[in-house]
């Protein structure tokens, strides 16, 4: 990881220690950045007793959480650093006395002005995985956990960042031909559902709302693997496509149950099975946490292959950055 990002994380950790007891954590952002923060909520809720909530920025403000105050840590993210809801949510959190930390790609953005501390990350196809948003997020997350409850597990989790790029590069190579086939089969589908749970929930959610709806104008919805049986499974039919993720943690049983049912009733079930990932470079007890980053590589490949097959660039928008909302 770049020295700049390590230093920014160190500064945030020191500020958090200086702040004293953190009694509540809020993770706030919009769209893809909201999805990006969801795994942090998963890990924090499994590893600490600190109540942690992940919310879309506008709802964070409108909800006015009662526990928000001097003993809160509010982590926001905006890639551009300009999304007004996230800038406003960060300002609001700071006014309530919370320690505010922002993740952003952009430098000197409006978000950076509102947050007490900013942790930057890098972006782009040639970027080492440890410098991308999820790599830097995990750099902060496991450093923070090491302060809350020092453990060799978190040291090892931080070391895993050194091999992350090898793991993701290998996955990209492994999945490129597989995904090219999926995209060619799915390119004319009017709707594609996205199903997952556990640590992969954020990836599957952003696949539906960002990659398919926003960037491909393909109808989609994210369905939680457990919730699939509580309404959504009624739309399952031989010609309804599902892209479903099977994780590595305890949530896997929930994912498998959904996949098994869908496969019985649909001929178009595509499974991202995390057991097929080569994660041997990462300690087994950490593989669940890291698997969502690897799933993200596969979801991204699907989006890129869709864009190619459909001749629809991932950069085209009708409304975003064009019209006021
Ligand atoms: O991360 P930012 O810059 O706040 O941008 C949020 C916007 O970007 C996306 O995540 C992807 O374009 C949208 O879902 C969302 O509206």
Residue 93 and residue 77 in contact, taking contact as beta carbons nearer than 8 Å: no
CA of 198 to the centre of ligand 1 (A): 22
Nearest partner of 274 among 304, 306, 254, 244, judged by Cα? 244
pTM: 0.97
In short, whether 30's Cβ falls inside 6 Å of ligand 1 is yes
CA of 17 to the centre of ligand 1 (A): 31
Phi (first) and psi of residue 284, to 5 degrees: -60, -40
pLDDT of residue 325: 85
- The pick from 28, 29, 33 for probing ligand 1's pocket by mutation, whose C-beta has the most ligand atoms within 8 angstroms, reads 33
CA 117 to chain centre: 21
- 3-160 carries CATH number 1.10.760.10: no
Distance CA 6, CA 4 (A): 5
Q: Report residue 152 as tokens.
A: 């060799």
Distance CA 92, CA 103 (A): 16
In short, whether 90's Cβ falls inside 6 Å of ligand 1 is no
pLDDT of residue 269: 98
Nearest-CA residue for atom 2 of ligand 1: 78
> Three-state DSSP class for 74?
strand
Angle of the 152-159 helix axis to the 133-148 helix axis, nearest 10 = 170
**What is the domain partition of the chain in residue ranges?**
3-160, 164-310
Regions of the chain short of the pLDDT cut 70: none
Residue 292 and residue 36 in contact, taking contact as beta carbons nearer than 8 Å: no
Please, which residues have CB within 8 angstroms of residue 5's CB and are 6 or more apart in sequence?
Answer: 119, 120, 121, 122, 131, 136, 139
In short, whether 274's Cβ falls inside 6 Å of ligand 1 is no
In short, whether 32's Cβ falls inside 6 Å of ligand 1 is yes
Distance CA 17, CA 295 (A): 33
Domain range 164-310, its CATH number among 3.40.50.10490, 3.40.47.10, 3.20.20.70, 3.10.20.600:
3.40.50.10490
Question: Exposure string (b/e) for 54-90, b if CB count within 10 Å is 16 or more?
Answer: bbbbbebbeeebeebeebbbbbbbbbebebebbbbbb
């Amino acid at each position: 990881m770049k020295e700049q990002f390590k230093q920014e994380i160190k500064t945030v950790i020191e500020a958090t220690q200086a702040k004293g007891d953190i009694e509540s954590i809020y993770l706030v952002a919009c769209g893809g950045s909201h999805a990006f923060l969801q795994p942090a909520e998963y890990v924090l809720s499994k590893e600490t007793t600190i109540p942690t909530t992940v919310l879309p920025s506008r709802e964070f403000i409108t909800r006015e959480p009662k526990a928000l105050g001097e003993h809160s840590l509010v982590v926001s993210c905006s890639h551009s650093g300009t999304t007004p809801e996230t800038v406003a949510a960060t300002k609001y959190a700071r006014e309530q006395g919370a320690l505010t930390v922002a993740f952003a790609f952009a430098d000197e953005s409006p978000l950076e002005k509102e947050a007490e501390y900013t942790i930057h990350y890098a972006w782009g196809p040639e970027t080492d995985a440890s410098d991308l948003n999820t790599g830097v997020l995990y750099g902060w997350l496991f450093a923070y956990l090491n302060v809350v409850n020092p453990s060799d597990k978190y040291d090892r989790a931080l070391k895993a960042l050194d091999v992350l790029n090898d793991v993701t590069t290998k996955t990209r190579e492994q999945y490129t031909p597989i995904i090219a086939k999926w995209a060619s089969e799915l390119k004319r589908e009017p709707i594609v559902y996205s199903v997952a749970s556990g640590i992969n929930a954020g990836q599957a959610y952003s696949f539906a709302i960002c990659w398919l709806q926003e960037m491909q104008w393909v109808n989609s919805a994210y369905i939680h693997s457990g919730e699939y049986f509580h309404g959504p499974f009624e739309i399952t039919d031989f010609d309804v496509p599902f892209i479903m993720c099977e994780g590595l943690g305890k949530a896997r049983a929930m994912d498998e149950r959904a996949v098994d049912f869908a496969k019985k009733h649909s001929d178009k079930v595509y499974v991202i099975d995390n057991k097929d990932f080569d994660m041997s470079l990462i300690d087994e007890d950490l593989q669940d946490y890291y698997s969502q980053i690897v799933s993200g590589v596969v979801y991204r490949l699907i989006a890129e292959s869709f864009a190619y097959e459909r001749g629809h660039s991932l950069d085209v928008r009708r409304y975003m950055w064009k019209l006021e909302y």
